[in-house]
Amino acid sequence: MVAALRRRAGRAGLPAPGADSPVCVTAGSTSGRARARSRAPEAVLFDRDGTLVVDVPYNADPARVRPMPGAREALRLLRAARVRVGVVTNQSGIARGLLTPAEARRVNRRVEQLLGPFAVWQVCPHGPADGCACRKPRPGMVLAAARRLGLAPDRIAVVGDIGADVEAATAAGATAVLVPTPVTRREEIAAAPTVRPDLVSAVRHLLGER
């Protein structure tokens, strides 16, 4: 039987299997893992408030920053897989005069102190009525992050907790994953292409794990 397999492999231009080489590839093989990695995004962008850290409306105080459950582990999994991570966040408190750009930067630095470095930050300082191209659900921040990372948008995923995050990702051509919280509306959950109950399961999904 081995001789017949060798003859068929030779005709197909494939390496001939020997007594110690498997004829088939199982789901747990290196080839299977490579296929899973090929489907994974090259970068994952996270919403900040309500996704990476507990939402404190218009937060100007770094001392109030608290990671969301699973945020550290989710980021660890991505970094271990050499997937770059970034943040895309609406900060309309700047436009409303409730915090300054410097205060927003201090809060972002605290996020990095708690969760590690991010390859890219995109912050929209505008209000809902300003008509900017960057504020989610518009795709401006996702597209800008893609340019900074040197990636096509379809090689990026966006993880967030509300419909605006999903809409921004979809409009940019990126993959969207919704991780609902108590503020997420039912219609946002119904409309999302992919919903996962927590950050770790969202990341495992993006990495092709089941």
| Total number of residues shown for the chain | 210
CA–CA dist 64, 59 (Å, integer): 8
Closest CA to 174 of 199, 147, 208: 147
Q: Pairing mode, if any, of strands 120-124 and 156-160?
A: unpaired
* Dihedral angle over CA of 116, 122, 128, 132, nearest 10: 180
Catalytic annotation, residues: 47, 49
Helix (H) / strand (E) element for 136: namely none
Phi (first) and psi of residue 192, to 5 degrees = -70, 140
Closest by CA position to 203, among listed 29, 68, 1 = 68
Are 17 and 2 in contact by the 8 Å Cβ rule? The answer is yes
DSSP state of 129: T
Estimate to the nearest angstrom the gap between the alpha carbon of 101 and the chain centroid: 25
Q: Which of 54, 73, 74, 72 is nearest to 64 (CA)?
A: 54
